[in-house]
């Protein structure tokens, strides 16, 4: 059955729930309807929160080992249904089935679930002597509201839901209106494993997310998305004092030192910047290159980018897909057009030519590399979130570090050098939550990940990420 015909339902209290209205989900590769998602209203949100509150009473008492086993079973469900997931994801998100696309995302979701299932939050004894015993306990918060973006819909839903349920919370998940179908299917499968009400999924427009942030029954919001929405969520959550994890936008800088071999680092730089067509929070979004290797790094990158096949994700030889939606396409194009008069276009930059190549359909944007830009140019200062890389020349390392830090965001960064010791010293001076050396954006489930400055607060992954779904209770005896 094609996705357009397949009925998708909300998942509330373990049941599939139909709604009176639905909304269209477009395939960004051809602008045709990929499927229809149910349009939830306030009543569905209330029902989902109610179900999650009821389920919390028992789920929190379930032994941790049983919750771990349930998460492992979810990982198996994802594995068994991986191909179906990959096709839904490619249809609604646009990313290719192959390369670092849908199959890779589903594999990552499974691996993340398995690893997270191995984590444990044990009680810590802070003191045990003649004056008394002090124990630190981690208690689940209650109902967690998960709000996700459209770039990695399945992986990010897993990043939110699995640690929440593992630590004894229950969840109301609300995916992006651009990519709701894969999350609806994911939560449907989770409900084959979990007791009713532990994970619920509602889909609708942005107002539904806003309603979650003021809902009395929700104790925490975990949000991945733009800085602007993160700020609204923070303001809206104040009234009910919700706990927050905010994973927001990034404008990651990479600094290339003069001792690199440009040919050797080109592939790492390329995929660091262009993974998921640049629609990745921790992608390389500004590249600072030392004068000594500037021209050869530019040449190698252009050469490599020219070999990449962009197209409809269902074609098995495609490695990069379109931009996910029209609004993002326009943001990317405005930034590129404004940069053309400031810098030197080395590759791409002309979306009309690309449109012609693609038969006039889909939000395809040419892989674009623009050199000789500077801080102060919009394409350098703002997050492009698309397949475009600005390159900036530098002469002194202090100048490069200062420019890399001169940005309100602080998600990730990278240093490229043969001298690891020197690279680590530079990493230490970068204002961001993660720094990679000779690679970029390689997040992993055993290392905490989060932003500093306006890229948000709180971390995901590892034990530190799990702790974010708990409140501390200290028991003195």
Q: Does 151 bind ligand NAD (CB under 6 A)?
A: yes
**Element housing 380 (H / E):** helix 378-381
Asked if residue 463 lies in contact with residue 457, where contact means CB atoms within 8 angstroms, the answer is no
| Residue 45 Cα to chain centre, angstroms | 24
Q: Does 385 bind ligand NAD (CB under 6 A)?
A: yes
The answer to whether residue 206 forms part of the interface with ligand NAD (CB under 6 A) is: yes
Beta bridge partners of residue 243, listed in sequence order: 220
One residue of 30, 170, 176, 434 binding ligand NAD per CB under 6 A: 176
Binding to ligand NAD, residues 439-468 (CB under 6 A): 451
Rounded to the nearest whole angstrom, what is the least distance from the CB of residue 272 to ligand NAD in the complex? 15
Size of residue set near ligand NAD by CB under 6 A: 27
Interface residue with ligand NAD among 35, 38, 153, 249 (CB under 6 A) is 249
Indicate which single residue of 148, 237, 384, 417 sits in contact with ligand NAD (rule: CB under 6 A): 148
Please, what sign has the CA dihedral across residues 60, 65, 68, 72? negative
**How far is it, in rounded angstroms, from Cα 299 to Cα 437?**
21
Residues 172-194 as b or e (16 or more Cβ within 10 Å = b): bbbbbbbbbbbbbbbbbbbbebb
Site string for ligand NAD, 408-427 (x = CB under 6 A): ---x----------------
CB 158 within 8 A of CB 71: no
Closest approach of Cβ 400 to ligand NAD, in Å?
23
Minimum distance from residue 185 beta carbon to ligand NAD (Å): 17
Tell me how far, at minimum, the Cβ of 280 lies from ligand NAD, in Å: 7
> Is residue 233 involved in binding ligand NAD (CB under 6 A)?
yes
Known catalytic residues are 247, 281
Return the closest-CA partner of residue 97 out of 336, 319, 427, 275.
Answer: 319
450, 475, 474: which is closest to 464 by C-alpha?
450
DSSP state of 362: S
Nearer to ligand NAD, 283 or 397 (CB): 283
Closest approach of Cβ 39 to ligand NAD, in Å? 13
- Residues 20, 313: Cα–Cα separation, whole Å: 32
Do residues 233 and 364 lie in contact, with contact meaning Cβ atoms separated by under 8 Å? no
Query: Interface with ligand NAD by CB under 6 A: which residues?
Result: 147-151, 174, 176-177, 206, 209-210, 213, 224-226, 229, 232-233, 247-250, 281, 383, 385, 411, 451
């Amino acid at each position: 059955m094609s996705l357009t015909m397949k009925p998708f339902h909300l998942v509330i209290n373990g049941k599939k729930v139909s709604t009176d209205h639905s909304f269209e989900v477009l395939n960004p590769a051809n602008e045709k309807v990929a499927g229809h998602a149910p349009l939830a209203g306030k009543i569905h949100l209330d029902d989902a929160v109610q179900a999650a509150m009821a389920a919390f009473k028992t789920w929190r008492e379930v032994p941790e080992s049983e919750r771990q086993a349930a998460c492992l079973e979810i990982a198996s469900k994802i594995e068994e249904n991986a191909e179906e997931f990959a096709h839904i994801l490619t249809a609604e998100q646009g990313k290719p089935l192959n390369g670092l696309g849908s199959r890779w995302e589903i594999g990552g979701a499974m691996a993340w679930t398995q690893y997270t299932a191995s984590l444990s939050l044990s009680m810590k004894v802070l003191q045990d002597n003649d004056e008394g015993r002090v124990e630190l306990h981690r208690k689940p918060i209650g109902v967690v509201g998960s709000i996700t973006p459209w770039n990695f819909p399945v992986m990010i839903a897993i990043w939110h839901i699995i640690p929440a349920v593992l630590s004894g919370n229950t969840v109301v998940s609300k995916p992006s209106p651009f990519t709701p179908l894969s999350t609806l299917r994911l939560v449907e499968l989770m409900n084959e494993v979990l007791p009713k009400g532990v994970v619920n999924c509602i889909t609708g427009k942005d107002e539904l997310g806003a309603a979650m942030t003021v809902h009395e029954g929700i104790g925490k919001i975990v949000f991945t998305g733009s800085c602007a929405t993160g700020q609204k969520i923070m303001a809206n959550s104040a009234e009910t004092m919700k706990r927050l994890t905010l994973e927001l936008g990034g404008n990651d800088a990479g600094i290339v030192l003069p001792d690199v071999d440009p040919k050797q680092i080109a592939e790492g730089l390329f995929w660091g910047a262009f993974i998921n067509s640049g629609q990745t929070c921790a992608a390389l979004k500004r590249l600072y290159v030392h004068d000594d290797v500037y021209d050869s790094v530019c040449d190698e990158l252009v050469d490599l980018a020219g070999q990449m096949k962009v197209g409809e994700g269902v074609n098995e030889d495609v490695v990069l897909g379109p931009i996910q939606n029209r609004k993002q396409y326009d943001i990317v194009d405005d930034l590129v057009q404004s940069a053309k008069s400031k810098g030197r276009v080395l590759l791409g930059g002309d979306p009309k030519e690309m449109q012609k190549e693609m038969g006039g359909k889909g939000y395809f944007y040419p892989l674009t590399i623009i050199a000789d830009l500077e801080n102060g140019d919009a394409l350098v200062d703002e997050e492009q979130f698309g397949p475009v890389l600005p390159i900036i020349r530098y002469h002194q390392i202090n100048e490069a570090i200062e420019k890399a830090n001169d940005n309100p965001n602080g998600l990730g960064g990278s240093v490229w050098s043969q001298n690891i010791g020197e690279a680590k010293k530079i990493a230490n001076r970068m204002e961001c939550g993660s720094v990679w050396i000779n690679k970029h954006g390689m997040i992993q489930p055993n290392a905490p990940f989060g932003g500093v400055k306006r890229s948000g607060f709180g971390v995901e992954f590892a034990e530190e990420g799990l702790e974010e779904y708990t409140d501390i209770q200290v028991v003195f005896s």
